[in-house]
Structure 1
């Protein structure tokens, strides 16, 4: 976010002569904290941060980037909506947020889960899996996402053996119970619509007493998170992730951490001390090593320095630029092929909200616009957890999903996948195998339609692959 703002503030094309100010808050994944900050922002910021004559107005918030999660986004959007303060989220995907009657000022640069749920159902159907298990985060993200998926799956003729929910703050016994359900189940395929922090706890539980091999199908929140790749029993997992991107200049910006920058920021201080296992202050304990200034961040191999897998980062980047374009339209005019902006023009948040609905621009090869629901065009990468020659698991892009393409062309796979246990054959996950010739299907009492017995056809009748007897 800071990188994008500094780019914009140095631009001669976007908001020339105008600098955007900002403040960043950490909600600590807590809804009450997020709501507290939302009320604070709605009431106006402390004017002490706006000093001198260079600012056109005191602490009036023009727009908000965030929240990361759907539940806090829902809560703060109900606060910002009545004030017409536009909110652009980079990671809140609940389809419920597309309801403009409830969330009139909400936008997002990440697709709605409705698109992902439909894509996941088509993926499961594509590989012939009709008998699956389902686990989800017990949150707005997990519950709404899984509800959309199960509805789409039923339309595709897919049956669900179990559907379990859990949340990271619940007692461990709840997560143990979900793990036991997975171990005892007969479905080979497990679809997990879960947040990274929740699923990590479930996988840690399964690691203690491994279940039979399972083919994991993941939602975008966890399937592209590199911290989970350590769970080798999930090798072969597939799912839809936000498209990878390249943001020119970002890596150099991240690596430019001078001692003065680090010292001025508690966050950067903590990061550097943790990364190099040393202390920057002289009050370190006897058994702690002092940083001597020779530590080179460029040698680090960490998520901070790895800009090759930028996904959600690009959603933040696009959100900042979308807001900047909206402000540009509100305060700048094109005159004689030049752009003139009046930094002393007093604008209100509702003007930015109005312009945000109309933004349409490209940045680094990515188009940014919003439909009438405040949603972007839904595009995903199909990713596969594949074992490398060294034995580690890597994220490999094996296909794409583009909701803007015609029916039948949205989903494509362009390279080979590897499956559970490193297999090359698509695993089978059905409740009952197809009935052999000469037999017919009889549904099992109390079971889904995917579960049936095969009994011989009456004398004089035969059957084909449909499992229905008829006279020859």
Structure 2
């Protein structure tokens, strides 16, 4: 804190302590007061009206401090600020209008006249602090009690310049923190109409603070709700480098992190280095892929940012603005910002009507209010002339009370004091007096969007209702009087009493809404606005919804986006992963940046941005898009398959061929050839071969319980019959038919239908399980043993007489049989699904054809083509 400000604060603290001395003392010391500050004019440069209770106001009517005097030839002091603001001057007259309205109300504070004392805070911390101290101390006076001459008890102590009991202001959060913390020890209530920093809600640090604007906690959360509502997940941020911007950004980040929204970048703007910071912020905006930019900025800073974007022709960004700049008339009426600022969405302070306020503003005239120096400056700026009725030389003392209860009041030393504030337009001609605000539309007279102005209106009414509660007390020394009551007459009002009643304020506004404080705050209500282009080349403000508490209502069809389209602009780091894919986070990048990985076979995802793919149930498989599970197709060795048809035809050909041979042998059963080859066993062998061919058909078609059970049993029985003729037939048939009896599981586990889900794919293999592997192995082993014995004996009998000897044919057929079945085992084990059945069918058919052709084909050849050799004589020849 600068030395001059520190000294001023110390002197003001002394003055405050003197003001709040007990006023019922019989004898008081003589107090010598003098001006303790060389900053002449700041305390008197405002709006004043005396009353029983005076309300103080700090309004940033100007926003630029004058150039500092660095000559060091005189002590530093504050000067009047520059750059008059019509919009904020309207806030000052909102206090005046509301006080007059309350004074005319016979039901609110009857018999009590409210006054006001409104000073310019200049949007600067030193001016805000000095103004607050001047308001609560009664003026920039320094007093000492060196003269001990007593004053008369009749001396009216309250004839001093009236100190205020409450301060309405300031607008900026940081300045308000300084004012509230400074006045906190004196329990002077501070009610801000625009300071929205969440830090001010801390009652332990600011027990005397109230506000009629919602906390930034609600604004930041509402903006996070809007971002979530429109599906924006990749967001940039530009904020003011102060409590307002930084705290709001922190709350916004906390709100979006739980919703899967990421902050691409954040930049701060400091007014001390605004040009440099703006360039850096625009650099970040241009480089980033984020298309949505969230801003927590004062309107002047927002203007600098938009101007830089205009110069670089950056027009494809969507802005979401906070209340501090979302309703700025200066920005809306600047045609240079049209292409950049069109489509801005904003969270705005709720607008509300103030009946009679527009007529009041239009009736203002400096001739009727000669002491209103700000109105004079407004006239000079708006009409380009100087009102003659205003005497700037006398304005500093015209409002002072006539009786000054000071023992000594030395005159100021004019040689060491700076001049009083002068007009910023010294060369303007005098006004004619016919100038009027009626019909003139500019920011001061515009009452279509009363936002901060309505907050000022609410603040004054909150004070009035607290005063009404405080002053509506039982008369002292009556039975109803409570010694602990915090009630005082208007002239003996203590700020701590008003503070107590402000905490209890509860009244109904002109909008039929209940107004009350919850700690320092009020319930959150916001308007949602959209900047839309007009045919005249300007921007207009359009309400598109509102926020009340946590409820968000948006009329999306009424929004004009910066692209000019009705489609919501996208702002994402990665496009959403469609159904059928899953999100894969990129290492080292925010969670909003990811890749989309297709789900694997047998898995699916049916939502956008799914983090995982789910496994399909056992009987289902994922579709081609991996978005759903569909029932698996049943796959088995069907009669409709090409291979199934081929093997069926081959098997039937084998049956026909065997039947033909059988008929041929029956027709020639009396011939020597047939009789010489043991016709009974030949017929039995032909029958078994026919059954072998037919047995292969059992392996084709949809496996059923009986098909699976009879398949291996029939295969074993028939082949054993074929090789062992009579003996093995009895044993194997017995095993096959006893396998289905109760308790037969102890003998052999029968094959059953089995759904194989182990093979990856969209198909379920339906097959017959082998059942007892041991039993099937025994069948194959037994058949192999019989085949081996047949081969052995046929090999030993190969040199017997050819006419009665089939050993050579049997040997050759057994070689084929053994070769087929030796190759069958590894092929069967390694073949998946239905192809295992195909291998078994092929082995059955190949071995059956081998037996048929090797044993019976030579005989059929002789019977049909060499009948001369089918005689007894020929058969008896060696």
TM-score (normalizing by structure 2) = 0.49
> Which one of the candidate residues 114, 120, 130 is aligned to 1:20?
114
CA contact (8 A) 1:45 1:61 kept: no
> Which one of the candidate residues 289, 294, 298 is aligned to 2:434?
294
Bigger mean CA deviation after superposition, 284-293 or 154-163: 284-293
| Structure 1 match to 2:521 | 375
Q: Deviations over 1:248-295 (max 9, x none)?
A: 111111111234235432211111111112344599999855432232
TM-score (normalizing by structure 1) = 0.90
| Structure 2 match to 1:40 | 134
- Per the alignment, do residues 416 and 113 of structure 1 end up closer, same or farther by CA in structure 2, a change over 3 Å counting? same
Distance 2:274 2:224 in 1: 31
> Which one of the candidate residues 243, 250, 255 is aligned to 1:140?
243
Match of 2:574, SS state, is coil
Bigger mean CA deviation after superposition, 444-453 or 253-262: 253-262
Bigger mean CA deviation after superposition, 30-39 or 275-284: 275-284
- Per the alignment, do residues 290 and 142 of structure 1 end up closer, same or farther by CA in structure 2, a change over 3 Å counting? same
Which structure: larger Rg? Answer: 2
1:236 aligns with 2:310: no
Summarize the alignment of residues 227-266 of structure 1 with structure 2, pairs less than 5 Å apart. 227-229=330-332, 230=334, 231-232=337-338, 233-261=340-368, 263-266=370-373
Q: Deviations over 1:337-389 (max 9, x none)?
A: xxxx9965522101100111111112322535334422111101111112234
Bigger mean CA deviation after superposition, 457-466 or 60-69: 457-466
Q: How far off its partner does 1:244 sit?
A: 1.0
| Structure 2 match to 1:180 | 283
- Per the alignment, do residues 185 and 294 of structure 1 end up closer, same or farther by CA in structure 2, a change over 3 Å counting? same
CA contact (8 A) 2:563 2:569 kept: no
- Per the alignment, do residues 468 and 68 of structure 1 end up closer, same or farther by CA in structure 2, a change over 3 Å counting? same
Q: How far off its partner does 1:213 sit?
A: 0.6
Distance 1:437 1:46 in 2: 72
Summarize the alignment of residues 387-406 of structure 1 with structure 2, pairs less than 5 Å apart. 387-403=533-549
| Structure 2 match to 1:156 | 259
Match of 2:528, SS state, is strand
Match of 2:228, SS state, is helix
Match of 2:218, SS state, is helix
| Structure 2 match to 1:338 | none
CA contact (8 A) 2:367 2:433 kept: no
Distance 2:460 2:367 in 1: 26
| Structure 2 match to 1:468 | 612
> Which one of the candidate residues 460, 467, 470 is aligned to 1:330?
470
Distance 2:542 2:424 in 1: 43
Distance 2:160 2:512 in 1: 33
| Structure 2 match to 1:308 | 448
Distance 1:348 1:334 in 2: 17
| Structure 1 match to 2:560 | 418
Distance 2:587 2:560 in 1: 36
Q: How far off its partner does 1:182 sit?
A: 0.9
- Per the alignment, do residues 346 and 384 of structure 1 end up closer, same or farther by CA in structure 2, a change over 3 Å counting? same
> Which one of the candidate residues 346, 349, 361 is aligned to 2:495?
349
Match of 2:273, SS state, is coil
- Per the alignment, do residues 346 and 305 of structure 1 end up closer, same or farther by CA in structure 2, a change over 3 Å counting? same
Match of 1:241, SS state, is strand
| Structure 2 match to 1:435 | 577
Q: Deviations over 1:430-457 (max 9, x none)?
A: 1111235554432223210111123444
| Structure 2 match to 1:131 | 234
| Structure 1 match to 2:814 | none
Distance 1:285 1:133 in 2: 43
Q: Which has the higher contact order (CA 8 A, sep 6+)?
A: 1
Match of 1:211, SS state, is coil
> Which one of the candidate residues 96, 99, 104 is aligned to 1:2?
96
Q: Which runs of 5+ in 1 are unaligned?
A: 336-340
Distance 1:416 1:284 in 2: 44
Bigger mean CA deviation after superposition, 160-169 or 132-141: 160-169
Q: Deviations over 1:152-209 (max 9, x none)?
A: 0111111111011112221512211111111221111111111212211111221211
> Which one of the candidate residues 369, 374, 381 is aligned to 1:267?
374
| Structure 2 match to 1:361 | 507
Match of 2:544, SS state, is strand
Match of 2:541, SS state, is strand
Bigger mean CA deviation after superposition, 84-93 or 173-182: 173-182
Distance 2:541 2:274 in 1: 32
Bigger mean CA deviation after superposition, 385-394 or 296-305: 385-394
1:453 aligns with 2:547: no
* Greater share of strand: 1
